[in-house]
Structure 1
Amino acid sequence: MIESLLVANRGEIARRIIRTAKRLGVRAIVVHSEADAGLPFVAEADEAVCVGPANPAQSYRNVEAILAAAKSTGAQAIHPGYGFLSENAEFARTVAASGLVWVGPGADAITAMGDKINARNLMAAAGVPVAPGTTEPAADLDAAVVAAAGIGYPVMVKAAAGGGGMGMGVATDEAALRTEYDKVRAFAERMFGDGSVLIERYFPRVRHVEVQILGLADGRVVALGERECSVQRRNQKLVEESPSPAVSPELRERLLAAAVRAGEAVGYRNAGTVECLLVPNRRDVEGPGPGSEEFFFLEMNTRLQVEHPVTEYVYGVDLVEEQLRVASGLAPTFDPDALAPRGHAIELRINAEDPKRFLPGPGVIRTWNEPTGEGVRVDSGYVAGNTVTPFYDSLMAKLIVSGGDRAEAVERARAAVASFEIAGPKCNLPFFAELLENEEFLSGDYDTGIVGRMR
């Protein structure tokens, strides 16, 4: 096992990684911005280095400053968490070239999966189902129009280099396509430095289901079940649960096998997630007819996911520990041939945003009282007295609950939401109280449009 680890991230995920590192006897080092100097993750680390001002480009994305911090503190390895530099292939290569251990997949795998079109083509070649779409970027508007006509409306217009639900638009006809193409292309150039655009069939009602994979040190790729991620706002997740209430045993077998093939196709090592769109088995869905259980590859996230704790509960593993073991060349703590899920887990993302329009509302935290009890876990980035600043993501904490079945997990989630006290910044806890009483959600028969139907 590596002996010292630099966490190139902040907030709740930094605290989460520190917790496992300390349990394993690994010295935990963090970098932080000037704005985050007073946050818990800085105090909880064995050593902390300020790498720049609040602007992420000058701190958490400042490669030179992070590598200098690793060198000055004697860190052996770097864990990037999620966001920031976690899926930056060049950073991964630079870390390795500097003689440090990269806690994540190899740079080649990150590169292969970083472009949506290239990823789609690789997956199709590996026998993983992909939705009808372009096999190369739509070079201009005319090419996009021709592609959409061949695919059939409605279509999704996507930034090929995008991620995290950003850089996407839906076109129901050619007029809408002309508007969305220009909008997505401009956004992609501005945000990702790459204006390449993918045109793909859009399914009006789908579920977002993903599979947790782990590429082991011995070369094998294993799947640790699926997570349901269909409760979303602006194509970004708010709630995740495992197992998915939509996935039958037969579909689960196909999903997990496809995810393993996806990982094997790029020689995947460490933790990753294969995201898919599932066409629900409903009569009002456009796409495959009633009785079908079709799924399509969406993208691969070459890092640890925000929602990894629900998998940890259901499979009884510490995914951060498994990441460190893979990076150290060690065998996993579990038997890859005897993986079996138990119970049900749900994660709620507690954000500093209003519960109606989901607009950010940073501020000073006056009250912060976390819920406790059986099957309740809170991964938080803040405590009372801290300030949620506008410089970073609005995520304040993750409330994770588990139970023997879905009904028990929902009951525990209700109680935990009711007892979670946050005052100061805006907070979306009232939304979760509403969701946990929503008949559509309680039935398990919901899709990515559920939040819109609640509003």
Structure 2
Amino acid sequence: MFDSLLIANRGEIARRIGSTARAMGIRTIAVHSDIDARLPHVVEADTAVNLGASDPASSYLNIDAILAAAAETGAKAIHPGYGFLSEKADFAAAVIDVGLIWVGPSPEAISAMGDKVNARNLMARHGVPVAPGASDPVQDPDAAQAAADAVGFPVMVKAAAGGGGMGMAVAEDAASLAEQTTRISGFASRLFGSPDVLIERFYPRVRHIEVQILGLPDGTVVALGERECSVQRRHQKLVEETPSPALSPQQRAEILAASRRAGEAVDYRGAGTVEYLYDVDSGQFFFLEMNTRLQVEHPITEAVFGIDLVEAQLRIAAGETVEIPAEPKGHAIELRINAEDPKRFLPGPGVITGWREPAGEGVRIDAGYRDGDEVPRFYDSLMAKVVVHAPDRAQAIRLAAQAAADFEITGPKSNLAFHVELLGNPEFESGDYDTGIVGRMR
């Protein structure tokens, strides 16, 4: 096992990685921007390095500055967390090229899954179900129309190099297809550096289900259950739970087996997530994308399986064996506590003037901030995650609702009121919901 780890991220995930690393006897090195100098992930680290100005390009996205920080502090390994550079194959390659250990899959695996069209075609070749759609990317309305003619309207228009729910739109007819193809292609070119667009059939009633995988040093890929991620706004997740209320035992076995094949297709190492759309009407699931990193919602898998996924990542990166638990126990729910308006979900950054976390058996809080810290406008609005674990779903819902009601944050806006509302919503309580549930609540 390496003796030092640079965590190339910020906030709650940097703090969470640091906690596990220090418990394993690994020296932790935090990096931060100017505005983040006082955050808990910095204060708690053994060493900290200022990367530069507060904008991401000058700090958390600055590969040269991060590698310089690693050299300056004698880091032996780098963990990217999620977001920022975590799914950038060139960053992974750069880390490896300077002789450091990369805590993640190979640059080749990251690259293979980074393009939605290539990933879709690769998955299809390895027996992972994919939605009807074009096998080649398009960039202009005429090519998009030809693809849609083969698939049939309505279609989903997606940025081929995108991820995280960004760069997606539905086209109901030829006119809207031309408009959305032009818009998404331009957006993708600006944000992801590629104008390529993927055309797939759109399913109006879907659930978003993902599977946690671990690729072990010996090449074995294991699947640690599924997570239900259908509570979303603007394709961005707000609440996750495990196990999914939607799947039968047979469907669960099928989706876990498909996810193992997905990992094997790219010789996957470390923690990753295979995401699917589940068509409510047909009961079929289709490959959406693979996230070649740790997910925000990983704690609910940890809760039901009794595993530390960050520890598993570090041990796999060091070539050590990882003990895999046999069966999950109980039910877990995660609430993302964001600095945003609870009705319209518009960002609401600011200085935290009051912070009181809920506590109790079965309640875990992963927080990136504390009283007096500033939630800046430069980064994602996630402030904390409430994670609860109980013997069954009904008890988990009650525990999550109480924790949300007990969490007090003043200063920036927060979506705590939304979570209280959702957890008391009959549709959510029934378990029979889909990705449209937030829109129906509004």
TM-score interval w.r.t. the shorter chain? over 0.9
Distance 1:265 1:417 in 2: 40
- Give 1:333 shift: 2.8
What CA distance in whole angstroms lies between the structure 2 residues aligned with 1:317 and 1:265? 25
Query: Mapping of 1:212-227 within 5 angstroms?
Result: 212-227=212-227
Alignment-derived partner of residue 273 in structure 1: 273
Distance 1:122 1:451 in 2: 33
Aligned-partner Cα distance in 1 for 2:251–2:116: 24
1:187 offset after TM fit, Å? 0.4
Q: Which amino acid aligns with 2:255?
A: L
Instruction: State the partner residue of 1:84.
Output: 84
Name 1:321's counterpart in structure 2.
311
Unaligned runs of 5+ in 2: none
Of 343, 365, 368, the match for 2:355: 368
Instruction: Identify unmatched segments of 5+ residues in structure 1.
Output: none
Which amino acid in 2 is paired with 1:361?
G
Structure 1 stretch 255-264 or stretch 172-181: which is displaced more? 172-181
What amino acid does structure 2 have at the position aligned with 1:353? E
Tell me what 2:167 maps to: 167
For 1:278 and 1:139, how far apart are their aligned partners in 2? 27
Find the residue that maps to 1:257 and give its secondary structure. helix
Instruction: Tell me which residue corresponds to 2:147.
Output: 147
Asked if 1:110 corresponds to 2:110, the answer is yes
Q: How much has 1:249 moved relative to structure 2?
A: 0.6
Number of aligned pairs? Answer: 442
Whether 1:302 aligns to 2:289 is: no
Deviation sequence 1:290-309 (CA, Å, 0-9, x none): xxx21000000000000000
**Cα drift, residue 138 of structure 1:** 1.3
Which whole-Å CA distance do the structure 2 matches of 1:402 and 1:195 have between them? 43
Deviations 1:318-347 (A, max 9, x none): 000000000000000335xxx201000000
Task: Give yes or no for contact 2:354–2:371 (8 Å, CA) kept in 1.
Answer: yes
Residue 420 of structure 2: which of 402, 413, 433 is its match? Answer: 433
1:73 maps to 2:73:
yes
1:388 maps to a residue whose letter is: V
The code of the aligned residue for 1:97 comes to D
What is the CA–CA distance in structure 2 between the aligned matches of 1:379 and 1:333, rounded to whole Å? 24
Corresponding position: 1:448 with 2:435:
yes
Secondary structure (helix, strand or coil) at the match of 1:30 reads: strand
Mean Cα displacement is larger for which, 140-149 or 85-94?
Answer: 140-149
Rounded Cα–Cα distance in structure 2 between residues aligned with 1:228 and 1:126? 24
Superposition deviation, residue 146 in structure 1: 1.1
Matched, 1:246 2:236: no
The offset of 1:139, in angstroms, is 3.7
Q: For 1:250-296, what per-residue CA distance to the aligned partner results, in whole angstroms no more than 9, with x for missing partners?
A: 0000000000000000000000000001112xxxx4xx3xxxx2100
Partner residue, 1:393 = 380
1:349 maps to 2:336:
yes
Amino acid at match of 1:219: G
Identity among equivalent pairs (%): 67
Q: Which letter maps to 1:308?
A: H
The one-letter code matched in structure 2 to 1:300 is M
SS state at 2:247 partner:
coil
1:380 corresponds to 2:367: yes
| Cα distance in structure 1, aligned partners of 2:244 and 2:155 | 26
User: What residue number does 1:199 align with?
Assistant: 199
Distance in 2 separating the partners of 1:311 and 1:247: 16
1:118-165 C-alpha deviation (Å, 9 max, x unpaired): 000000000000001111111421010111111011100000000010
2-side partners of 1:334 and 1:188: how far apart? 39
In 2: Cα distance, 1:257 partner to 1:5 partner:
33
Q: For 1:433, what is the secondary structure of its paired residue?
A: helix
Structure 1 partner of 2:322: 332
For the residues of structure 1 that align with 2:272 and 2:195, how far apart are their CA atoms? 26
Give me the CA root mean square deviation: 0.7
d(CA) in 2 for partners of 1:80, 1:267: 20
Stretches of 4+ aligned residues off by more than 2 angstroms: none
Residue 65 (structure 1) shift: 0.5
One-letter amino acid matched to 1:59 = S
Post-superposition shift, 1:374?
0.6
The whole-number CA distance in structure 2 between the counterparts of 1:216 and 1:70 is 26
Letter in 2 for 1:108: E
